[in-house]
Amino acid sequence: MSAGTWIGVAVLGGVGAVLRHVVDAGIAARVRHTLPLGIFVVNISGAFAIGVLAGSGAGPDVTRILGAGLLGGYTTFSTWMLQVEVLRRGGRSHLAVTYVVASVVLGLVAVALGRSLAS
């Protein structure tokens, strides 16, 4: 991998992390819900975007920069799992399970939809 690709992954990883924060905070400020909808939206939209990227036929460097960099920084498994644990510890196990199932099912649908639209 070239130095430019490494730099692109690093820079766009930071951009993705900032975008994640902006989307999450923006949704949290507007929508009051017991489910952490901000990260849910981030993860589903990120799944859709990576599906589009996978179906686009982009070259390996572009895929690394946008997939691992931008989308890797934007979506977040660790934050998702922390939020599931917070729901469970808060006595909302049914919401934790709903959140996990909805995230996985809709995430898979979003990837497939994005890929099919890009093909």
Is the predicted pLDDT of residue 34 greater than 90, yes or no?
no
- Residue-wise pLDDT for 87-110, tens only, equals 999 999 999 999 999 999 999 999
Q: Rounded distance, CA 105 to CA 63, Å? A: 24
- Cβ atoms of 94 and 30 within 8 Å: the answer is no
DSSP characters over 31-58? ---SS-HHHHHHHHHHHHHHHHHHHTT-
In 3-state terms, what secondary structure has residue 63?
A: helix
- Kindly state the tokens that stand for 58: 């982009």
Q: What is the mean pLDDT of the chain?
A: 93
Q: What's the number of domains the chain is made of?
A: 1
DSSP code at position 90:
T
- Cβ atoms of 69 and 62 within 8 Å: the answer is no
Report residue 33's pLDDT band, with 50, 70 and 90 as the boundaries: confident
Judge if pTM exceeds 0.75. Answer: yes
Domain that holds residue 35: 3-118
How many helices and strands in the chain, by DSSP H and E?
A: 6, 0
Nearest alpha-carbon partner for 85 in 102, 97, 103: 97
